[in-house]
Copies of this chain bind each other. A is one copy, B any other.
Amino acid sequence: MAKITPRAQDYSKWYLDIINHAKLADYAPVKGCMVIRPNGYAIWEKMQAALDKMFKETGHVNAYFPMFIPEHFMQKEAEHVEGFAPEVAVVTHGGGKKLDEPLVIRPTSETIIWSMYKNWIQSYRDLPMLINQWANVVRWEMRTRLFLRTTEFLWQEGHTAHATPEEAEEETMKMLNVYATFAEEHMAVPVIKGRKSESEKFAGAVTTYCIEAMMQDTKALQAGTSHNLGQNFSKAFEVTFQDRDGQLKHPHSTSWGVSTRLIGALIMAHSDDKGLILPPRLATVQVVIVPIGRSEEEWNSVCEVADGIRKELAALGVGVKLDDDQKQKPGWKFAEYELLGIPLRMEIGPRDVESKQVMVARRDTGEKASIAMAELSEQIPALLASIQQGIYDKAKAFRDAHIFNASTYDELKAIINADQGWVRAGWNGSAEVEAKIKEETKATIRCIPFEQPENLGTCVYSGEPAKYEVLFAKAY
């Protein structure tokens, strides 16, 4: 049986053990790259389906832009090139020949997309342009960690163009809210919405908004970002449209993305020392049925009933698997499905068949209960909903218990240095103060939360009047 290092012993090892034993991902032959194995990819497919639906419901359409970007495109937006140039992979040869101009593999697609928008946007009638892309991107990383930071990763990137700054800001916030809803309602991960400081914002953005989540080691993880890009890219790529008033104007734009790092967030937020814990809405198999029987006769009659239940649940839209493999014993299967994070296990033995009931065990709490077969179509969906909510509530209680107010820098340092959690504190808005705190504690400003107190108090570092209340934390 898979041996998982307990969290208390070595959190990093625990994380990698889960990924390894649950076969979620593997290291690739190329340094920093990752193979997403079928069990991990199934989670991504569920995430994609839910997000894609939300994108379409908010009026977006999908497209695909090339991954090759002419090197000089990257240089058109000054901050963008400064941020991304050091991390790009470069194609210099194609078809056996040296290329006239090297091609950058997209680290993000603003430049290639705006080079196309130049052709597609002429009039206010062409706006808003609301396009999303599901794609792979490459950022050359020195220190990598499966799912959380890899050289190549999968993501979606929305790129929109609008006639007015107000519409662009509305779009930026709308998509941040889509991400927050997805994180909380599908991933069961509570998030705090806020704005990034100048030093932490996207290279090329006017404003970056984010959702921040707490992992079980109390570190923060940025789970999604939505950028208001102003007219930076429309100006850099000379995109104009004729507005209703006949004037030529540059469109206002946004971009927003989440990536396969969300799988890492999901693992770190919920799992335990037995393995993965999947929220039902992201589990392909939500219920696994394990039949139990000694004699061939017992086995056959149990499996027949179990298969009936499988069909009944499948017809309700429940993701259900009947594990009728006779080579493995029930105890082995129990441990295996706990490792894989299947939300609900159902056991059926000969006596259950007789008494027309089944035993179910929740993955999140370990609680067991018996349910009458006649009530399964009502009880199972209710139990899955209860698990989904229970996982969220637990993560939220954990997070809320690990955010501390600090009014002095000593307090902040004590909390951060002891890895107790996040610190909520006043900040005077100075980039110097932010840099000092980062240098001295390794904690960064995760965000300036949208919810601000009425009385801001003083800056935790300088003692000056605070401009914002912010969240400090070490982060992935």
Contacts and interface: CB of A to CB of B under 8 A. Distances in A.
A436 interface: no
Contacts of A73: 29
Nearest to A62: B41
Contacts of A44: 64
Contact of A64 (B30, B35, B92, B103): B35
Nearest to A141: B95
Interface residues of A, number: 55
Nearest to A61: B38
A115 B115 CA distance: 38
A28 B91 contact: no
10 contacts: A28-B66, A66-B152, A67-B136, A67-B152, A85-B96, A89-B93, A90-B92, A91-B92, A92-B92, A95-B140
* Chain A interface mostly: mixed
A136 to B, nearest CB: 6
Contact of A41 (B33, B61, B120): B61
Interface in A109-123: 112, 115-116, 119-120
Nearest to A101: B30
Interface string A21-64: 00000101110011111101110110000000000000001111
Contact of A89 (B30, B94, B112): B94
A259 to B, nearest CB: 12
A453 interface: no
A8 interface: no
A113 to B, nearest CB: 9
Nearest to A119: B26
A450 interface: no
B94 A91 contact: no
A116 B28 CA distance: 8
A35 B65 contact: yes
A68 interface: yes
Contact of A62 (B30, B38, B68, B105): B38
Given A26-B119, A28-B112, A103-B30, A64 B36 contact: yes
Contact of A112 (B29, B86, B105): B29
B131 A68 contact: no
